[in-house]
Structure 1
């Protein structure tokens, strides 16, 4: 009861209610929050600290930036949603906050568009070498299967397109990438798609910041050919895969187009089935059927694998708490 009272006391202040309302919409930096709320950074930071200590907000660092958002699960989330439901939608202060939040979202969209424009030529050149992306996405949906109530991790999420594609049916989706520029693009995409159940984080694919067995589906879409150690990246993805879950890899079949290595930083010129199957076995995974999507000149393949069952054949597991 004391913990509930502490959370209620933390929320029982006008500015902190405003902070909860905007941070329930999307994850925001301190500078974005001060822009929306119209208060000084020290004052906003003090309110944020109290809300985080009460478990009503979660914070995470991305380089030199710190983001805040309301939690998706746990006691804090159980209190935040009913409290926000009590706020009047026609309140003038909250309406002004929402209008300023839309300005922040619009600025994010502008940054994302500029980044796309700067890199569109390279991306278009690579896309022209293989089968249409819509064909790949349909095949990926088939490979992943039913996502109802599941948790997805997209490693090397890039623009966030795979989260957008898969996240609507999932309970929760997380995308990780090392590039802050790409994470900004992904955030803009997810907010545009109104996927509040999906989030992105800055993280190294060789050291994912999640406990083992956390995700029902892990995807690596056109990521492994950039990896210096693709087997290690695959092993780390397998580590966070829940028993009964599925790892899905989308990448190029082995090819000889050296210009992709020289001009686009591809470390590997595609992969063959034997290599993938060996890495699966080394990570205690059972290979599934391979989907082959021939193109001109590159062929896209979709490899899938599941954790090897124990001797009882059981798939039961107690999953960890959701990702922050």
Structure 2
């Protein structure tokens, strides 16, 4: 194998080893993103939904063809405004029999409600509760972090799923005669489908996931109802394509130390592949050395040395071995060692 082939082998190995490092990975600290593994992210909820069925994050503007029938779409804490065209798309999506979940508190959730002609709104006013951060539902409670409330549901077909305690108030802390229960999660029919409004997206976050997991797993159990679960990531400013620079390549593992270890591995592979050839070259080299010695000192003297057991290399005078040592680029002691091994 030529030196060029060794270099090519090393390049190929580096390519295979570093290949996983160049696969794009979405790295974001965007609150409520399913790609965010920190406390404010929703990666654990994504994993939970993945165990229940198929999931698909949407990081590009979606069209009718992107949203399949018999599915559910989660929009959690959007901080990018929706457009009228998106409102029309989602109206048709839900009306045809699908489910839309909108979880928001102080961001852009109301923009989609306006374009879908839904009367309910997120009040965008902070909720204060004496027993905060606990919210009650039929069968238990969940933890909240920074909730608002849902307003204007009295004249609609909205059904309250979760509410605050009776000792709550908005804008200011509860006081006697100035407190009541407020709706925090509402479910309503929309055409043949369903819309679910949640006034605190934090219930999905990793920080509160362990406490809220039971409710999330039970209420959002879509394994037998929906073929796919979508997550809207396009309306997260740090994830959508206009900030695609957040897709990074991590190549920090290719260090000089790593390359030195890789070189040793390549050397071992080469030695294994070339062992037979090296052995043949070495044998031929020794054979040529012996022939030169025999020609120089005489075949009889060399034969006598090799066949008589009591002869010692120091007792037999080999003349002019310096020329042979110089020819093969070795010292005279190395030639003596070769002869000793042959004896």
Is TM (by shorter chain) over 0.5? Answer: no
| Higher relative contact order (CA closer than 8 Å, sequence separation 6+) | 2
- TM-score normalised to structure 1 length: 0.28
- TM-score normalised to structure 2 length: 0.27
